[in-house]
Amino acid sequence: MATFFGEVVVAPSRAGLDEEEEAREETPEDREIRREIEKKRYRRRREVDVLWSWQAGGRAEEPLVCSSFVVAIGRNAAAFLSSFILDSVCWEVVGVVKLWNEWCRTSSTTNVLPTDSFCLFYRLISDPTVLLCQCSCYVAEDQQFQWLEKVFGCMQKKGLQVTILSTCPVADYKTQESTLTLASPFLKALKTKEFQEEVCCPLLEQPNIVRDLPAA
């Protein structure tokens, strides 16, 4: 019997079990070993791997010197980068993020290929200290800290300016006006206290917030 609406109940069946399997009962020790194996497999599949084209492994010996790092998160932001910034020969692919979750399953190969990942890093050929990240894949909650730790762990933090581009539905925007009268799309900004330059658009009003990887 289902304990709540929508629960999937699997009918018990002993079909396909031979006499030896029927006779064998799982001991508490067996169950503990099985749980530990499942945990290890789960953690391994949830790992986030960052691979740079100039590395054999996933971590640089020296921090990457970077003055400007632009990260486009989500399909719309990634498409904006493709259409207005990356549509030239001025950029080269230099890195990739490999991850696996419920909505994104990238290949386990170790090659940096644009067709092999939904999260790519580009470097400006004329100025190698300028990097772009085009992240159109879903990064799960339990993978966001790994993503940040491994990506920014490769970079020199001093003098680094980070710009995040992301989008959200107009229906999620909280305002006293009717969202039907808003000019869409529109641009709002959030900034840290360290950012002293002029912001190119109005600031995001309270109680609006950002979520997921952009917030992290």
pLDDT tens digits for the chain (216 residues)? Answer: 555 444 445 555 555 555 555 456 778 888 877 776 666 656 656 788 888 887 644 444 678 889 999 999 988 998 888 888 888 778 998 888 888 776 776 655 444 444 445 789 999 999 999 999 999 888 888 889 989 998 998 888 888 999 999 998 888 888 887 777 778 788 899 988 888 888 888 998 888 988 899 988
Is pTM, for the whole model, over 0.75? no
Bridge partners, 95 (sequence order): 52, 121
pLDDT for res 5: 42
Q: Which residue has the tokens 């169950």?
A: 31
Residue 66 DSSP code: -
Q: What is the pLDDT of residue 38?
A: 66
Burial of 28 (0-12, 13-18, 19+ CB in 10 A): exposed
- Structure confidence at residue 32 (pLDDT): 78
Tokens 């289902």 -> residue: 2
State the Cα–Cα distance between residues 93 and 81, nearest whole angstrom.
14
Distance CA 82, CA 93 (A): 13
DSSP structural state of residue 25: -
